[in-house]
Amino acid sequence: MIRESESPAVRAVREQVASLHAELVRYGLVVWTGGNVSGRVPAEDLFVIKPSGVGYEELAPENMILCTLDGEVVPGSQGSERSPSSDTAAHAFVYRSMPEVGGVVHTHSTYATAWAARGEPIPCVITAMADEFGGEIPVGPFALIGDDSIGRGIVATLSGHHSRAVLMQNHGVFTIGSNARDAVKAAVMAEDVARTVHIARQGGPLVPIPQKAVDSLFDRYQNVYGQNPEGSLT
């Protein structure tokens, strides 16, 4: 049970972040306990993230971890007896540096991570990729887990870039979004385009989309398509 002393905003983000982890499993983006979702608490300098090393089937709103934007667990909060994800410092750095970001996701999804293992950006050669990412999915620098080095690499790579996904070299995929759900969508789409472009390249040279067309597709998808477009973070 979630403590009544927590604000409605915190409780809502706990519910959302806990439930969204099931989407990572549903789309085959994670194995065992790897990967994580976090969500910023609106109007509060806090975010919610998955606990470290806990199976996806055990995740629930009450065992999500509430952290400050410095990556510190809020003392006495629900779930504070557990350790947060080993990627907490990276998520925290992104939230501190990019106030427009409301959600962060990390996976080691197979095809996207294969591109990361080569240190190779995914080129924008299909319209779905232009729609979602506005160009290639870039590669961020190699960085070790444990401090904010990964977060620094994410921010440096994505700042000024349309893409909401970054392939951290030799590691995996991080995505950002206006909220946690939006970041999960970006993770799902990153793996989908990584797989499609990988398969396409096996058949021969890839055909790039002209940048003018990429820009037009991105603008339409982000600002016109659908019933309630969420819009770009950039």
Full DSSP string of 33-44 = T--EEEEEPTTS
Domains of the chain in start order, with CATH, are 8-223 (3.40.225.10)
Is residue 40 a contact partner of residue 10, using CB atoms and an 8 Å limit?
Answer: no
Ranges in the chain, pLDDT < 70? 1-4, 228-232, 234
Q: What is the pLDDT of residue 21?
A: 98
- Which is the catalytic residue, given 87, 131, 148, 192? 131
Rounded distance, CA 170 to CA 147, Å? 17
Best CA proximity match to 78, nearest among 93, 67, 69, 89 = 67
In the annotation, is 45 catalytic?
A: no
pLDDT in tens, 216-231: 999 999 998 877 655 5
Alpha helix positions (H), the chain: 8-26, 88-97, 110-118, 127-133, 149-158, 180-202, 211-223
Amino acid at 99: P
In the annotation, is 87 catalytic?
A: no
Best CA proximity match to 195, nearest among 110, 111, 107, 113 = 111
Rounded distance, CA 194 to CA 197, Å? 5
Neighbours of 18 (CB within 10 A): 19
Neighbours of 230 (CB within 10 A): 14
Helix, strand, coil % in the chain, rounded to nearest 5? 40, 15, 45
Q: What is the pLDDT of residue 4?
A: 61
Query: Going by C-beta distance under 8 Å and a sequence separation of 6 or more, which residues neighbour residue 199?
Result: none
pLDDT in tens, 162-176: 999 999 999 999 999
- Which is the catalytic residue, given 45, 70, 147, 225? 225
